[in-house]
Amino acid sequence: MSHTITLLDRVQLTHDTAHYVFDKPKGYDFAPGQATDLALDHDGWEDEWRPFTFTSLPGADALAFTVKSYADHDGMTYRMAALTPGDTVRIKDPWGAIEDKGPGVFIAGGAGITPFLGILNKRAAEGSLDGCTLIFANDAPRDIILRPLWDGLDALDTTYVLSEDARDARKGHIDGALLDDLIDDFSQNFYLCGPPKMEEAVAELLTARGVTEDRLIRES
């Protein structure tokens, strides 16, 4: 089943990432971490469905998505950046394997932070961030999505990993040495989302350190 929703507001967060707020269909519900398939109401794009993660909380009056646009090709995210309030898109029913299974280590690369926004925001609202760690990898400081939010959550143990200009972060990439330095308990939950190559590499590192399949929460 599909629903037509209308853009209410768009806020630029970084040089290439924006926050989109849409009206919410009556009775539409989802769990933090879930996604939906979205299509544009533009000629030639009506049947081009792409996955986007909800970054609003289920109880909110509106639906929100935080989307990184890639300007190097004429794709869905590039066209989304041109949306203005009043434009419509279509969404399907929610889906997704990433859900809150308890405190743990959240490992995100770039736009892979989006499934964790709802989970961590809900925990922050409930005062249950204790035991949660965020490891957030990006290229440079300007790429960090919603850094003021993460910096403001005192109960969340956050480490930024940057491949360049890492003056106030860990320099490099998420590798075995970094995981061993930051994590002393590999029996806890691990949430993982990022670019496919990064995600696969980190999943292998975690598995090699004894993280079992039921403790590794990811889409694939």
Q: Topology of domain 104-217, per CATH?
A: Rossmann fold (3.40.50)
Query: What DSSP element (H or E) covers 79?
Result: helix 76-80
Tokens of 81: 């950046």
CA-wise closest residue to 112 among 92, 135, 81, 141? 135
Cross-strand pairs, 11:
19
Q: Over the chain (220 residues), what is each successive 10-residue block's mean pLDDT?
A: 96 97 97 97 88 96 96 86 96 96 98 97 96 97 96 96 86 96 97 97 98 94
- Which residue has tokens 């909800």? 54
Q: What does the block give as tokens for 196? A: 């496919």
Q: What is the 3-state secondary structure (H, E, C) of the chain?
A: CCEEEEEEEEEECCCCEEEEEEECCCCCCCCCCCEEEEEECCCCCCCCCEEEEECCCCCCCEEEEEEECCCCCCCHHHHHCCCCCCCEEEECCCECCCCCCCCEEEEEEHHHHHHHHHHHHHHHHHCCCCCCEEEEEECCHHHCCCHHHHHHCCCCEEEEEECCCCCCCEECCCCHHHHHHHCCCCCCEEEEECCHHHHHHHHHHHHHCCCCHHHEECCC
Q: Hey, where are the domains in the chain?
A: 3-91, 104-217
- Name the one residue in this structure whose structure tokens are 């935080």: 66
Specify the CATH class of 3-91 in words.
mainly beta
Token pair for 4:
């037509």
Alpha-carbon gap, residue 53 to 99, rounded angstroms: 12
Write out the two tokens for 136.
């957030």
Give the residues across from 42 on adjacent strands.
none
